[in-house]
Amino acid sequence: MLRSNFEKGSTRWAVRRAQWLAMGIKEEDFDKPKIAVVNSSSSLSVCYIHLDDVSRVVQDAIRQAGGLPFEIRTAAPSDFITSAGLKARYLMPTRDLVVNDVEVMVEGSCLDGMVFLSSCDKTTPAHLMAAGRLNIPSIVVPCGYQLGGECGGREVDIEEVYKAVGTVATGRMTVDDLECWTKVAIKGPGVCAGLATANSMHVMAEALGMAQPGTTPIRAGSDKLTEVARRSGAIIMDLVAKDLTPRKILTPSAIRNAVRVAIAIGTSVNVVRHLSAIATEAELGLDVVALFESLGKGIPQITQIKPNGPDRIEHLEAAGGTLAVQSRLRDVLETDALTVTGKSLGAVLEDAGNSASFKIDGKIIRPLSQPFRNDPGLAILRGSLAPDGAIVKMSALPGALRKFSGPARIFEEEDLAIAELGKGNIRKGDVVVLRMMGPFGGPGTVFACSFMAALVGAGLGDDVAVVTDGELSGLNRGITIGQVMPEAARGGPLALVQEGETIRIDLDARTIDLDVPDLAQRLRDWKPRERKLKPGWLSIYSEVVQPIQKGAVLGRRDS
């Protein structure tokens, strides 16, 4: 019996019946599986403007397959729009707000399944987290990337616009030129072009088995996306019939497989915290940071998609996408992991190998034996400055760099760091520390990524290191050490660095250290700052957000 079908004659049966009859729902539909189509459509951001069209396709497919769809709306965080207020402090907390939106609407209504329309950076992890938490049949529809344009014979996308702010700040580009770029950088709906966080998490949805095989990355507004949406509406009905729930798919094997894919292609550093959060919500008890550390030792970088190299996200799609990457990695994957098709990953890969239409472009996706770099795309550093770990995107580093040390330049506001960059006060060899920007410290993770983009635009991306507990972008490249754990506001060593002290980074040894003799004493003497937070969502968030190594999920302070 479906949980959405209440006992005849009960209060719940009677009031629901009255509501739905008034809405024009036919009586013969009342006993059908009731499916939530989770839609974050918004006219604020290009990431979401096409989702209503996708939603209609999914709903029609659910009806045709014998179900009753209900559209559920949530918050719609956009990294380039919702970041405007309070230095982007709302972005990370909005991921968990979406999870709770879904719980309230789907659990409160006792619906039977969920189809998630996933778009910008925070929605895909939020949807996967909600699937893990609620554990009712679910499928993710990755809703695609945007295309860029041309200006003066040069390819321009949102990444180029993002980096150009630093070029303007240092006088190497005019505001008029930047204005011209903004007119052509985005051609169509969808998420940022490139292997930034949104496309990275779309790939992760497929790598985890929660999106249809062969569907990521995918261009927004394409006929292919329409067909994926249509098939997803039919698949969710099959998942409900078979009671194939997310925790049968989101297993430790699935998480490890996703980690391997992330390492091989050099995804956004934010993937680490999001996979940690998904594992936490699915109650897997995994240390995802440690998985990146251990699994990265045997997996090199087999793609070079922007910002990691010259190839574009549409090239990755044309080369076979995530399914092709998994095929390259088959010998190191756990192929017994289930997918939303009901088949194991091994069976999915076998089907692909037997398909005449499935071909891997070896120029874009190389075999493990012939990687673009022998380093993993993502790596974990530890040391006195990051005892619980920090993340470096090896795929976005200057090619020959193995070690870096320099004097610390301390900032607790990104704007101040950008201002100093514009004045020429940040120089080659510096290590810029952006701190007190973590989930608890913000509260809500504060943008540090705009400074990194400005640094690259200023021509210093290969010569200045950035170490931060703040929010980075998957578009960032250069010497960036992110997600330093514990974060400064929770007493992490990053809080204790003083201006001019030497920070040493050794990529071969995977270490990051503060070169001072009294760090242990400083840690013993450290006291948290008194904070006066205004009432509101961020204040609530600061009371319940967990350490970032747990994915910065919400929970009890003492858990």
Q: What is the dihedral of CA 360, 364, 367, 369, to 10 degrees?
A: 160
pLDDT surpassing 70 at residue 369: yes
Contact assessment for residue 465 and residue 505, using Cβ atoms and an 8 Å cutoff: yes
List the Cα angle 276/333/375 in 5-degree steps. 75
> Which among 19, 32, 36 is positioned nearest to 117, based on CA atoms?
36
Is 159 found in the same domain as 226?
no
Mean pLDDT is lowest, of 49-53, 59-63, 190-194, 218-222, for 190-194
* Beta bridge pairs of residue 149: 156
State percent of the chain over pLDDT 90: 83
Is 337 found in the same domain as 233?
yes
Contact assessment for residue 464 and residue 434, using Cβ atoms and an 8 Å cutoff: no
Q: Is position 545 within any domain?
A: no
Angle in degrees, 0-180, between the axes of helices 158-169 and 175-184, rounded to the nearest 10: 170
Copy the structure tokens of residue 250.
């989101």
**How far is 118 from 121, CA to CA, in rounded Å?**
9
Is 204 found in the same domain as 179?
no
> Which among 410, 411, 427 is positioned nearest to 170, based on CA atoms?
427
pLDDT surpassing 60 at residue 558: no
Q: Is position 536 within any domain?
A: no
Is 161 found in the same domain as 48?
no
Q: Is position 440 within any domain?
A: yes
Give me the phi and psi of 455, to 5 degrees please.
Answer: -60, -45
Q: Select from 314, 335, 353 the last residue of a domain.
A: 353
**How far is 462 from 477, CA to CA, in rounded Å?**
9
pLDDT per residue as tens digits for the range 93-102: 999 999 999 9
**How far is 436 from 425, CA to CA, in rounded Å?**
22
**How far is 125 from 436, CA to CA, in rounded Å?**
24
Report DSSP state, residue 213. Answer: T
- What pLDDT, on the 0 to 100 scale, is given for residue 559? 43
pLDDT surpassing 50 at residue 415: yes
Is 212 found in the same domain as 183?
no
Mean pLDDT is lowest, of 233-242, 258-267, 448-457, for 448-457
- What pLDDT, on the 0 to 100 scale, is given for residue 486? 96
- What pLDDT, on the 0 to 100 scale, is given for residue 98? 97
Q: How many CB atoms lie within 10 A of CB 521?
A: 11
Q: Is position 6 within any domain?
A: no
**How far is 59 from 230, CA to CA, in rounded Å?**
8
Active site residue 405: no
Q: Is position 8 within any domain?
A: no
**How far is 517 from 501, CA to CA, in rounded Å?**
11
Can you tell me the mean pLDDT for 182-200? 94
Q: How far, in Å, are 196, 241, 385, 478, 528 from residue 447 at the CA level?
A: 15, 44, 20, 16, 22
Peptide bond into 367 cis (omega under 30): no
Copy the structure tokens of residue 262.
């992330």
Is 398 found in the same domain as 326?
no
Is 155 found in the same domain as 62?
no
Q: How many CB atoms lie within 10 A of CB 459?
A: 13
- What pLDDT, on the 0 to 100 scale, is given for residue 521? 96
Copy the structure tokens of residue 418.
């950008």
Contact assessment for residue 239 and residue 138, using Cβ atoms and an 8 Å cutoff: yes
Is 84 found in the same domain as 172?
no
Q: What residue type is assigned to position 132 of the chain?
A: G
Can you tell me the mean pLDDT for 138-153? 93
Q: Is position 2 within any domain?
A: no
Copy the structure tokens of residue 265.
């292609």
**How far is 36 from 205, CA to CA, in rounded Å?**
18
Q: Is position 348 within any domain?
A: yes
More confidently predicted of 46 and 164: 46
pLDDT surpassing 50 at residue 456: yes
Is 471 found in the same domain as 324?
no
Q: Is the dihedral of CA 74, 80, 86, 91 positive or negative?
A: positive
pLDDT per residue as tens digits for the range 522-534: 999 999 988 889 9
Q: How many CB atoms lie within 10 A of CB 172?
A: 13
- What pLDDT, on the 0 to 100 scale, is given for residue 557? 58
CATH of the domain at 206: 3.40.50.2300
Q: How many CB atoms lie within 10 A of CB 346?
A: 14
Is 345 found in the same domain as 220?
yes
* Mean pLDDT of all residues belonging to the chain: 94
Copy the structure tokens of residue 419.
């201002």
- Scored b (16 or more CB within 10 A) or e, 101-110 reads bbeebbeeee
Question: In 449-527, where does DSSP find H-type helix?
Answer: 449-457, 519-525
Domain ranges, residue 128: 32-147+188-353
CATH of the domain at 466: 3.50.30.80
**How far is 99 from 95, CA to CA, in rounded Å?**
7
Copy the structure tokens of residue 50.
């096409």
**How far is 310 from 122, CA to CA, in rounded Å?**
26
From the candidates 473, 539, 542, 559, give the one annotated as an active-site residue: 473
Q: What residue type is assigned to position 50 of the chain?
A: H
How many structural domains does the chain have? 3
Q: How far, in Å, are 164, 308, 322, 333, 368 from residue 373 at the CA level?
A: 27, 11, 19, 20, 10
Contact assessment for residue 448 and residue 468, using Cβ atoms and an 8 Å cutoff: yes
**How far is 481 from 468, CA to CA, in rounded Å?**
6
Q: Is position 16 within any domain?
A: no
- What pLDDT, on the 0 to 100 scale, is given for residue 219? 97
Is 181 found in the same domain as 90?
no
Copy the structure tokens of residue 277.
């959060």
SS3 content of the chain, % helix, strand, coil (to 5): 40, 15, 45
Contact assessment for residue 136 and residue 112, using Cβ atoms and an 8 Å cutoff: yes
Q: Select from 163, 187, 211 the last residue of a domain.
A: 187
Is 388 found in the same domain as 321?
no
- Reduced to 3 states (helix: H, G, I; strand: E, B; else coil), residue 39 is strand
Q: Select from 171, 187, 203 the last residue of a domain.
A: 187
pLDDT surpassing 80 at residue 399: no
Can you tell me the mean pLDDT for 126-137? 98
